[in-house]
Each structure stands twice: as C-alpha cells, then as structure tokens.
A and B are shown apart, each in its own frame.
Chain A
Amino acid sequence: MSRARADEEEYWHSSKFRAFTFDDEDDELSQLKESKRAVNSLRDIVDDDDDDLEKVSWSGEPVGSISWSIKETASSSSSLEGRDISLQKGSSSYALPKQVSSYSLSSLFKGRNRLPSLSSLSDAFSDMGVKNYAPELRRPKAEYKDYSNDWSPRDTVRRMQRGKVCSLERFRSLQDKLVLLDEAVAGHDGNVITAVLIFLKRTLRREILFRELEVRQVALCHLIHFLKEMGEQKLLLDLLRFLDRTEEVALSQYREHLNIQDVEKKREFLKGCIGLPFSAEDTSHIQDHYTLLERQIIIETNDRHLEMGGQSEIFRKYPRKASILNMPLVTTLFYSCFYHYTEAEGTFSSPTNLKKTFKIPDKQYVLTALAARAKLRAWEDVDALLTTKNWLGYTKKKAPIGFHRVVEILQRNNAPVQVLQEYVRLVEDVETRLNLATKYKCHDVVIDTYRDLKDRIQLMAYKCKVERGSAEEEKINSLLNNTQIRWKN
C-alpha cells in the first residue's frame, strides 16, 4: 500500500475519502461501469486471436490440464460403458463374502501368519518387497540394521512413525500393550496411535480395552474416529454406552438416517429414534423431524396425484419444480401457503395446520405466508394477512416482521405502486419511510411525509422528481401555496 500510489489516486480520483458502503450501488457501480465501458471500448482493438492465452475448453479448464482430460475420459468412455456393463453382469450375481470379523493384521504388523513359523528376520525381507520404493529425500543410514525383534516400545513407535513395518505381536501382557499405547500417544503421530489401537482391539476383550481408554482421552478419540470411519457402528455404540455418553449414543444412531434413501424406510427409522436418550429439547426436535416427514409423504402423494390429473388450476399454472420430501419445515410451510392456502385447518396440508402442529411463531408464519402470496401476486391475501381486528371490531394493519420487510418482499415480487404505497406509508421510522418511498417512487408518501414534517425545502426539491403536469406536481404546488401550513423552513 504505497503512499505514492495513494497520492496519485487522490489526484485523478479527487473526491475525498468517504466511508465506503456496499449499499451505495449507484456511486460505486457507476465508477465500475465507467471502467468497464472504457475497457470494453478497447475490445475491438484487442482482437480475439488469443495466441498468448491459455487454450480453454468449453468447461473452462485449460486444454491439456489434468482436470480437463479426466472429463474427456469420462465423456468418451460412455460408449464403452455398455460393453463393460454386460461384462460385469456376469460377476455381479456373486455377492462377495465380506470378512467382517477378521481384524487380522498379519501382513501389516508382520511376524505372523504368512507361514506358521516364519521368523521375523526373513519376514522383514519378504515384506520389503511390498514396501516403499519411493525415493526418500534423506534416508537414514541406520535403516539396514532394522531386523531385530527386540525394539523397545519407544523404538517401536519411532520406527512406525517413519513408516517402517514393525511387529507388535510380542506385546502380549496388558502392561506391555499399555506402555506401547502410551508411547504412541506421546509420539504425537495419530497414524501410529490408530495402528496400536487396531492391535489392541484385536488382542483385548472389549471391556478391558474400553476401561483402559477411559483414562486415555487422546487414544479414545482415535478409536472413536477410527470406528466411525470404518462404519463399525455396533462397537462404537457399545463404547459410547460404556462411557455413559448417552447423548452421543442417540445422535450416532440418529445420524444413520442420512444413509437411508427410501422415504418410507426413513420415516420408520425416525420413528424409532424418538425413544433414544436425547435431551428433552432434542427429543422434541426428533419428534418434529418424524412428524414433518410423515406429513410430507402424505402431501407429496396427494399433490403428485393432483398434478398428474391436471384438474387443479394452481398446479397447472405453476407446476412443481421439485418434490417436497425431505425439505425443511419453513420450505414446507411456503409450499403449503403457495398451493394449499385456502384449505381448512383440518387437512394435513393446510398452512394453519402446519403452524399449529409445529408451533411456528407468528413472525415466521407471516414472513413465509407473505412471501408465498406475494409470489402469486395475491394482493388481497397479503392485505388480509396483515389486517387484525381488535375486540371492538376495528381493523388495523399489523406486521410482526416490520413494515419495511413487508415492503421489501412485495417489491421483490414486483408489486404495483398502489399496493406498495400502502405499506410504505406504514413504515414507522420516518427516515426509512422516506428512503423506501423515494426508492420505489411512492410519490404520495414522500409528499405527505414532507408535509407532516413541515419541510418546505425538501418538498420543493422533490418537485423536480415527479413528472411535469402530473397529479403529484399539482399536489405539491397546492401544498406549497397552502397558507395554513406553518413551514419550519
């Protein structure tokens, strides 16, 4: 940020420093637009023989880049796929027997199992065959005397940290195993900690392992993460139960619903989740999740039917873009306000029913209903939504979300000025009201507000913003000529 440059900039862009706002669309963007015009005007000089530029494919990847080639393979291989699928058909009928319970680490932590009595020395050699030909930047010279089996726990951990194969089978007493684990933790390498845990998991009864891990938090985290990654859900739940982490037990089970595609199955599963040991607060969230999906299934079945039948006007006019299944509650409410607004409270798809069932706060309800009805340009509904009757029967406009938000939503849906005006007028804060009224050309509101403020100067200034000879201009003139008003300026 050189000072010289700042000076230079002052020179040509001589407006003084101002507070920058992202709202100042006009000013900042016009500056941008000006630059853009300047640059674009150069475009015909700068013709398009991009000889010095990267060649870019349709997807925007530079031609010859690896990401690009992969896309190419993917598209060109589609023709091959047909043949390969038929090839696979033959094999896919055999289900592969998965060795679920075999946690053997034989070739990993060697010294075991390949040939019954293989001593560690030759085994070490045979394993070199599989291991690491990668050139290391600096390979310690000491590597070649590594065949001994008598590494201390500490050295074992160090060797493993450096990616060397090491037998763990001699750590047979609980004492030895724990020393090894503690060394691994002290060595800070998570990969080694997990390796030791895999070994411990295989060679210790789970209650003993759990008991020892309870006082070894770091190792415990590693085991939990490992079980999550492996998808060993049952053991994970046992562990969490052992640790009395009941909330995590519940969450971990609930999490499984993410993997269920079929909605009916998912609903059944969620039903089962309601009884899990969640906190009271979360139990009600789970209950809601279940109820919501249940509703969505009903609504979806009905509406798909309606839409297919082609009898319902709303569905013909606004075909659904996506199914409502698995959508959030607020989206569901919007959907129901859009397609089922006038239904009686008794039906599952009616907005009022949703509001009641899920105890949706007034504010949220109004916001969503407003957005939905405005989208349909149903201005009377909007009006009714914001009108309340008091006990004497008088009606009054009320917006729990604030009228400035109402205006914003209506404006976004291209409400006509007459509609907009009505709500701009109700914005309480005078400054905001003036801003909105000016922005959306609600002249009447601007004029009335200046009149109420007795601000003659602003009113006069506003005259040039309204059309010549329009009713607005006339109104301003008559106000300015009105001798009854005691202007403040």
Chain B
Amino acid sequence: MAARRDAPEPPDFGILKRLARDQLVYLLEQLPGRKDLFIEPDLMSPLDRIANVSVLKQHEVDKLYRVENRPAPSASEQLCFLVRPRVRTMRYIADIVNADKMSGRSRKYKIIFSPQKFYACEMVLEEEGVFGDVTCDEWSFYLLPLDEDIISMELPEFFRDYFLEGDHRWINSVARALQLLNSLYGPFSRAYGIGRCAKMSYELWRDLEEESENDGQGRKPEIGNIFLIDRDMDYVTALCSQVVYEGLVDDTFRIKCGSVDFGPEVTSSDKSIKVLLNAQDKIFSQIRNEHFSSVFGLLSQKSRNLQAQYDRRQGMDIKQMKNFVSQELKGLKQEHRLLSLHIGACESIMKKKTKQDFQDMIKVEHALLEGFDIRESTSFIEEHIDRQVSPIESLRLMCLLSITENGLIPKDYRSLKTQYLQSYGPEHLLTFHNLKRIGLLTEQSPGETLTAVESRVSKLVTDRAAGKITDAFNSLAKKSNFRAISKKLSLIPRVDGEYNLKTPRDMAYVFSGAYTPLSCKIVEQVLERRGWQGLEEAVRLLNGNEFAMADGAAEDAGDAQRTVLAVFLGGCTFSEIAALRFLGKERGCRFIFLTTAVTSSGRVLEAMAEHSA
C-alpha cells in the first residue's frame, strides 16, 4: 500500500430521513381530519428515529396505539394503520372493520404498508370481506440511517424469510433501496457481489435502473463501489462471541435501532436510561471499535482528563469562572454523564461474562475455529447444555462445531440433541429441524455421498422438465467447507508471541487476533484485486454466484472511488462493521454499511425457533 490517505468523509444521509418523513406526512394528509394511528411494534423504533409525536399531531393524529392482539378502544372516526405487510396484521385489521360493520358503525380506514404492500395481504383483505372498505398506501421507507456510516432496512425477518423459507419477497425492497441510494449518491461505477440473493438483488436493481430515466448523469458521485454479500456465505463470523465494545454491548443489552436501554444495573439508580449510540457520542465513538481489553484503559484515561478539566476551577477568578460555567460546563457535564454510563456498562458486562465462564467459552470457540481439541470442545458444549446455561449459547456453540466440522458425527448429533431437548424443552425438536434445513446444524451422513444424491435427482430431471432443478442442487451442495476456506484465505493469523490488541495489525483483532472474519476478508480481497481473479478456489468452496461489474464510464480516482457501500443481505454484526472500519482506515477508504438489519448470534438463532401463532 502506498502512503496512507485519510478515508473520505461519509456522505450526508440525513436526506434519507427527510424523504421518509415527508412521504409519511404526505400520506397522513391523504386522510384529512382527526384520526387515530395504529403502529406496528416493529415500526415504532424506526419511526422514532425520523419523526416525533409533534409531527404526527400536526397532521391531526389524535391517539397512538400499538397493533397487537387485542381489540382497540379507539373512538375516532378515522383509523390509520402503519404496518409491515403481514397476513396476521391484515386479519387484525379486518377484525376491527368487521366488528364495526356488525355494530352498524361506519368509519374510514387506511392501511399504510411499509416498505411496500404484498399481494397476499390484499388477498387476505379481500377474503375477509373488507377490501374496498379500507384504502391502502405504501410508505417507501426502505432506508433508516442509524449512524453516519450505517444504514439499516430494519427488516430482521429478511433472514428467516429468505434463508430458511426460501421466500424472495424482500428482494424487490433491496433492489429499490439500491435504486434510491444510486440515484442520490451514485452512480455506482463498480459492483461486486457473492451469493444467490446478492446476484438476484443486483439483477433486479439493474432491471429497475434500466427503465427509469437516467437523471444521475453528470452529477458527481459520492459512492463509487458497491459490494453485496449474502449472510450464508459466512455464518461462522455471525456466530462468534463478540469482543469489540459495540458488539459486546449488543450481545449483552441488545442495541435496538441504534439505541440501547441501560437498566438500573448500569445506571446505578432505579431507572433505565435510553441512550443513542452513534458517532455523536464522543465517548462511545472512541471505544466502540476497540477490543474490550483496551476499553478500560481508555475510559480511565477519559475520566482523568475530565477530572483535570474540572480541577482547573480551583485557581479561577470570578471572570474566568463565569466563562467556564457558560462555555465549558455544559460539554463537561454531557461528557460526565456518558462516561459514567459506559463505565457502568463495562462493569455490568464484566459481571455477566465472568459468571458465564466467558473465558473458557472463548477458548473453546478458538479451538473450534482452528480445528483442534474437537473432543474436549464437544464435552464442554455437553456440560454447558447439562447445566442449563443459556439455550442460545448452547445452540451457538453447537452450530459453530457443526459448521467448522462440516456437520456433527451422527453419534454426537444424537446425544447433544437429546440432551438439549431434555434441558431446554422438547419443542426444540422444531428448532433442530430448522437449523438442519438452513445448514447451521447438520449431521454428517457417511452413507450417502453428494454424488449419489445428484444422480438420483438428475434422474428426476430427465423424467420431468429439465433445467428447473438447479436450485435443488444448490441446496444439496450447501456444505460449509469452512476448514478449506479458512486455509485458502488464511483466516487464522499466525502469531508469534502475543497478539497486540491495542494497536492491531489486521482485522482479526475483532476476535482477539484468533480469526479474521470471513465476510470481511472476502471484501478486502476482492477490492484489492478489483475482481475475483485469483480467488477461484475460494469461490468454488463458497459455492459460487460471484460477480463483478464495472461501468467503464467513471474511472477517476476521486473520493467516490474510495467509498464502498457494503451490502449485507441477511444482516451484519457490529464485529464485521468494526473490522471493515479498521480496514478502511488502513487503506484510506470509507465503508458505508447497508444491512437488512444489524444482527448477532442471538438474533440469528432466535429466528430459527418456532412460536405459537
């Protein structure tokens, strides 16, 4: 690498919020007069980030309700529903409308779907006999900027819908999101990607692009590259324990839509505090990407500095004091508040992690990643299950074992599964089935090799219409090959002596120097080579579906060429974000993250459970 350049500043994504707010206001005005607004719980936090109650009140929203499974006490003449396109919600609304009809009451109803409506929803409205009684609109709220470099689609269900159920319903939303970003910050002159969903999203986006007028011509692009990657290219990274601060905070407290609820154990008072975590928080922005071990040092340094600032008061005369109070005190107070919150959070994390044998767990994880002591790791997991330690953690370790070993040997699979069901409940039989389908937790099958299955399926193909069966093949070929990929891309760094976590030399620091996140490594390699040349073997092991497109027109070396939109389909973790931020700093480029939702091992695994309807 040549001399280090500073990474370009991220573009201003504030406009995305304004667009979303303006459109919502426009839609509310379509229902003039006073109205009650029913909001889908999943949409509340995102809505909070772009509008507040007074905006809604200005547009004659009277009362706010949560869409939930019980009758609403609203007395308004006009009801407006702000919802995700879901069958369940449609039935809820239909029940309200039908109850009104039965009691001879007539009101106006309006459903606003976000980010788009589905045909199946309209079908339900029709079936329930309320089509025509309600009007439908779409609020194209695809993109929520969570931070200066993170944009979320806030669609956690994307993961299960696509990767488990094989439903392509959100691909159109992704394509539209790309279209919007391209029109505002593009044109993107280079596009790379890997994964089936990445490819389909790219194709659908290009398709949309072709028919829209090219008003982007002549404008100076701010983002020049995009990289799309499917979550199933790399489950390992998503399953590892996070040890950078932001990741730990997410794993411990669950960051929701860019903010976190710190409970009494953190605030050392009797109330919880909701804190926005982003680049505006001066303390947080300095520790978010750090390995946890460096965080204490940084925090004590901060608190000493703060103390020194306050101590300056001692020698002040009245006039200086006045200055101090009017100019500095406010900032110091803010810093003080944030500092004590993050210290409290660290304490709480330490307490929880110590209780959970975190150290031993990390050791096991590292052993799994490197592929040694498999027996010991298996018995560690077994004990973890027997002691009824967290069900999600047990599952997480089992999945890591499975992916790194290309499936569990049948004997282990049976016994771990049995013990799991005994410890956490027999209904998890369904969870295991889902995990098997998605490929997170599988059983090695010594008898039936892939080729045997292939020949059986290909017979089927000749019997029936040929050529339609490729997908079946794809799912059969879903083997993780982690060990081989890891070797090929040198994901396990060779360390002589201690890995220096405070001034790291590569992205592996986000996992204590034990493992470089596969997803980020792929991004790094492809950007470096400006394509997939030389990565053929890795691509083959990842099961292909890679692409690289260059638009010959733009080829300047401006900031746009050093700005990369990294699109994670199925979610990305804070560890991956930290790793790519690090890479960006090293290489003088800027990564912008577009994700269907921020994810974590907990969220991935919880999405695999079955719940009552």
Contacts and interface: CB of A to CB of B under 8 A. Distances in A.
A259 B613 contact: yes
A429 interface: no
A193 B120 CA distance: 10
A251 to B, nearest CB: 5
A392 interface: no
B468 interface: yes
A35 B215 CA distance: 55
Given A1-B503, A215-B465, A217-B472, A90 B103 contact: yes
A377 interface: no
Contacts of B26: 134-135
A314 interface: no
A108 B414 CA distance: 49
A214 B129 CA distance: 33
Nearest to B212: A138
A56 interface: yes
A305 B455 CA distance: 63
A91 interface: yes
A176 to B, nearest CB: 16
Contact of A65 (B53, B66, B383): B53
B122 to A, nearest CB: 5
B582 A190 contact: no
Interface residues on A, range: 35 or more
A251 B169 contact: no
Interface stretch (B135-143, B147-155, B365-373, B479-487): B135-143
Contacts of B120: 191, 194-195, 198, 226, 229-230
Contact of B126 (A22, A59, A107, A226): A107
A67 B359 contact: no
A190 B138 contact: no
Interface string B57-69: 0000001111000
Majority-rule SS of B interface residues? helix
B203 A105 contact: no
A140 B211 contact: yes
Q: Could you say which of A77, A88, A191, A230 has the most chain B C-beta atoms within 10 Å of its C-beta?
A: A191
B18 interface: no
A221 interface: yes
Given A108-B123, A135-B26, A1 B290 contact: yes
Interface string A21-38: 111010011011111101
B412 interface: no
Contacts of B47: 66
A73 B429 contact: no
A225 B161 contact: yes
Contact of A163 (B66, B116, B200, B306): B116
Contact of B138 (A39, A132, A251, A364): A132
A9 interface: yes
A74 to B, nearest CB: 7
Contacts of B127: 99, 102-104
A130 interface: yes
Contacts of A61: 274
Interface in B308-326: 310
Interface string B453-485: 000000011001100110110010000000000
Contacts of A329: 421-423, 426
A142 B500 CA distance: 60
B350 A84 contact: no
A225 B167 contact: yes
Contact of B359 (A21, A87, A229): A21
B339 interface: yes
Contacts of A58: 271
B165 interface: yes
Nearest to A104: B126
Contacts of A141: 213
B370 to A, nearest CB: 17
B235 to A, nearest CB: 20
Interface stretch (A12-20, A337-345, A445-453, A477-485): A12-20
A103 B542 CA distance: 42
Contact of A282 (B88, B166, B296, B429): B429
Contact of A134 (B27, B124, B171): B27
A401 B472 CA distance: 45
Interface stretch (A40-48, A430-438, A462-470): A40-48
Given A105-B126, A254-B429, A198 B119 contact: yes
Contacts of B301: 8-9, 12-13
Interface in A77-95: 77, 80-81, 84, 87-88, 90-92, 94
Interface residues on B, range: 35 or more
Nearest to B500: A17
Interface stretch (B330-338, B568-576, B587-595, B600-608): B330-338
Contacts of A3: 503
A222 B168 CA distance: 8
Given A46-B332, A254-B430, A137 B180 contact: yes
A405 B450 CA distance: 43
Given A22-B353, A32-B350, A360 B422 contact: yes
A336 to B, nearest CB: 14
A331 B471 CA distance: 43
A96 B272 CA distance: 44
Contacts of A74: 65-66
A66 B64 contact: yes
Interface in B87-124: 87-88, 98-99, 102-103, 116-120, 122-124
A364 B183 CA distance: 60
Contacts of A217: 166, 468-469, 471-472, 475
30 contacts: A1-B289, A22-B350, A38-B300, A39-B306, A39-B336, A40-B340, A66-B39, A73-B64, A99-B128, A104-B126, A105-B123, A105-B126, A108-B126, A132-B136, A134-B138, A137-B180, A189-B172, A189-B204, A190-B171, A215-B460, A215-B461, A218-B168, A225-B161, A230-B87, A251-B429, A251-B433, A285-B429, A288-B421, A289-B427, A327-B425
Shortest 9 CB-CB contacts between residues of A and residues of B = A20-B293, A221-B166, A190-B168, A190-B169, A195-B119, A60-B272, A289-B426, A188-B200, A217-B471
Given A188-B172, A215-B460, A286-B429, 10 more contacts: A17-B501, A38-B307, A67-B48, A73-B64, A73-B65, A108-B126, A136-B140, A188-B200, A255-B610, A326-B425
Interface of B: 19, 23, 26-27, 30, 39, 44-45, 47-48, 51-54, 56, 63-66, 71, 73, 75, 86-88, 98-99, 102-103, 116-120, 122-124, 126-129, 131-132, 135-140, 161, 165-172, 180, 183, 200-201, 203-204, 207-208, 211-213, 215, 261, 271-274, 289-293, 296-304, 306-307, 310, 330, 332-334, 336-337, 339-340, 343-344, 346-347, 350, 353-354, 358-359, 362, 383, 386-388, 414, 417-419, 421-427, 429-430, 433, 460-461, 464-465, 468-469, 471-472, 475, 498, 500-504, 512, 582, 585, 610-613
Interface of A: 1, 3, 6, 8-9, 12-13, 17, 19-23, 25, 28-29, 31-36, 38-43, 45-46, 52-53, 56, 58-62, 64-70, 73-74, 77, 80-81, 84, 87-88, 90-92, 94, 96, 98-99, 102-108, 130-138, 140-142, 158, 160-163, 187-195, 198, 214-218, 221-222, 224-226, 228-231, 251, 254-255, 257-259, 281-282, 285-286, 288-289, 292, 326-331, 358, 360-361, 363-364, 367, 401, 405
